[in-house]
Amino acid sequence: MEWLKRFPRRETGRSDTINTLRRLMPYARVEISPIGRALLAAVAATACGLVIPLVIERIIDGPVAEGDMRELAIMCGIVLGLSALEAVFFLARQRLVIAPSARVEVRMREALYAHIQRLSPAFHDGWPSGQLLSRATVDLNAISRFLRYSLVYLVVNAFSIVAGLGILFWMSPLLGLIFTVIILPVGINAMIFEAKYQEHSEIAQDQRGDLTTHVEESVLGVRVLKAFGRSKQATAAFRHTAELLRKTEMKRAHVLGLLVASVVGLPEFALGVVLVIGGSLVARGTMSNGELVAAIAIVAFLQWPLESNGYLIAEANEAAAATKRYFALLDAEVTITDPGQPEPLPEPVRGGVVFEGAHFRHPGAQMDLLAGIDLEIRPGETLALVGATGSGKSVLAGAITRLHDLTGGRILLDGTDIRRLPLAALRGEVAMVFEDPVLFSGTIARNVRLDRDHLTDAQVREALRVANAEEFVDALPFGLETQVGEQGFALSGGQRQRIALARAVVGRPKLLVMDNPLSALDVHTEAEVEAALRRVLRDATALVVAHRPNTVYLADRVALLDEGRIVAVGAHRQLLRECPRYRALMAPHEVEVAGRTMP
């Protein structure tokens, strides 16, 4: 769990648990009224349960002792009425608390998802996807369960214990004192075991996230595992991760077992002591039979609040651990934001791009990856960016849409610094095609539109036609409504790339950034897509990250990136003749396109 080193754990305790859970208040505050009504209903149900033993005392010492059947019937009716009222209040509590707790969960889930979307790709590169999924599902479920059940019962149990002890002291100060002394270690044990349980809960939840990551990667990479015959090794790695989780869960269960043993055993022992001492008081004539039965009923009534507190405290600590993990993600800084005073896009957008002294350094790196890039892409021009692997081509291309921000210098779009433009407006004018096409579960039409619902089917078809994808899409069983499967794996690599190309051109962007977009296409399809792109991009600006000559042929000019700088700009043939470094990169690939007519 290397990623976890950035978030060291601190010692935890009761105050830490309470302070952590307080962070839920902004989400729960608007639901205070319905949650408060649920608490009142629960308290009312508890009050009904506590009154019943007092009525029983009156029954035994009154109509039962005196043989008054009429009063006995009335008293029994009161007991039945209180029992029915307790059930009604309990049902009201259930109904009142479910809806607000669900709304809190929805708000927290939406806030987390929106925050994840705002975080930069650099953040996502450092976080395993399983950890994100675990926080968005398992942790939020633990928090919701605490708000829906544990929080209410902790408050109700506190009221029950205080009220029950008060009644017991009122009935018999001796029995009340004895019961209090016996159950006092329950609270002490809870404080002792609480911190340890929360620590194990945090570790278990992190390990559960690692396990989720392992399963996700194994499912997505199942073809690789099978092709290389590594399924057994993947299973062994999964078993190792699962075993770590099992050991942590066993430690947590051990702590919980010790806590539950004390909260269950001590009240049971207290009940026996109260019965013995109460019986001796009755024998001496200092306590009536009804008072003894009522005292025993009160003690029995208090057993459930005391015993359940062990589980509730465990749930509270698990919720606190989940809350810490939730806010560890929600507190992550959003580094790429809208400007404080955004400037409007120039009208009309022509797509001219200028890099001025552009620098970029990865966090923690010792040297700049881009060390002062000065480059202009003229409106309507297609510029190819060439460089060795790892030279920073994709970083430079991604900076245009602010997938990451430069650490120095600036990028101008039609003369305006892109950091002064609204992100949505900037990205609405720039489309990207990545080397690895990413499709989403859903239909082909949905993947091309990408939730741009204003786009018509005719526009979607035009984009597919441009990307040379219309023919294969129409050949599919459901055409545009064909499901592409998870990450588009129901389609071939070339088909996925063409859908990604269609997604980029459907909005007729003024600026198109392509990161080696033709890598997954065969020679015949590549030529057709190139011709189609030339027609569509005739009036658009384009930056094409190129790794081989057939991609360079799309460009009007070529820029060579070497050691963090642009060292040469010119036509492909010109650079082949005049730039040794460019010739060393591209000449070995020229045999791939021998006989092809170059522009």
Shortest CA distance to 141 belongs to which of 37, 38, 133? Answer: 133
CATH, domain 353-591, list 3.30.2020.30, 3.40.50.300, 1.10.8.870, 1.10.150.120: 3.40.50.300
Residue whose token pair is 């009644």? 167
Confidence at residue 597, expressed as pLDDT on a 0 to 100 scale: 45
Topology of 99-330 in CATH? ABC transporter transmembrane region fold (1.20.1560)
Confidence at residue 178, expressed as pLDDT on a 0 to 100 scale: 85
Q: Which residues are CB-contacts of 304 (< 8 A; sequence separation ≥ 6)?
A: none
DSSP 418: G
| pLDDT band at 411; cut points 50, 70, 90 | very high
Contact 504, 513 (CB under 8 A): no
| Cα separations in angstroms, 1 against 102, 137, 217 | 32, 19, 15
With 0-12 / 13-18 / 19 or more C-beta atoms within 10 angstroms meaning exposed / middle / buried, residue 465 is middle
| pLDDT band at 204; cut points 50, 70, 90 | confident
Least confidently predicted of 157-166, 378-387, 546-555: 546-555
**Is the four-CA dihedral 569, 570, 571, 574 of positive or negative sign?**
negative
Contact 147, 315 (CB under 8 A): no
What whole-number distance in Å separates Cα of residue 493 and Cα of residue 535?
A: 24
CATH 3.40.50.300 domain position(s) in the chain: 353-591
* pLDDT higher than 60, residue 195: yes
- pTM (2 d.p.): 0.74
Phi first, then psi, for residue 565 (nearest 5°) are -135, 160
End-to-end alpha carbon distance in the chain: 51
Confidence at residue 8, expressed as pLDDT on a 0 to 100 scale: 47
CATH 1.20.1560.10 domain position(s) in the chain: 99-330
Contact 481, 443 (CB under 8 A): yes
The stretch 517-541 carries a mean pLDDT of 67
Q: Which of 47 and 227 is assigned the larger pLDDT? A: 47
| Cα separations in angstroms, 276 against 176, 178, 217, 281, 590 | 14, 12, 63, 9, 99
User: DSSP of 485-546, one letter per residue?
Assistant: -GGGTTS-HHHHHHHHHHHHHTT--SEEEEESTTTTS-HHHHHHHHHHHHHHGGGSEEEEEE
What whole-number distance in Å separates Cα of residue 236 and Cα of residue 297?
A: 55
The stretch 531-539 carries a mean pLDDT of 65
Confidence at residue 531, expressed as pLDDT on a 0 to 100 scale: 65
What whole-number distance in Å separates Cα of residue 568 and Cα of residue 554?
A: 18
AA identity, residue 463: A
Produce one character per residue of 89-119: b if its CB has 16 or more CB atoms within 10 Å, e if not.
bbebbeebbeebbeebbeebbeebeeebeeb
436-476: pLDDT as tens digits? 788 888 888 998 998 888 888 888 998 888 887 888 888 88
| Cα separations in angstroms, 65 against 71, 119, 290, 321, 488 | 11, 75, 9, 56, 81
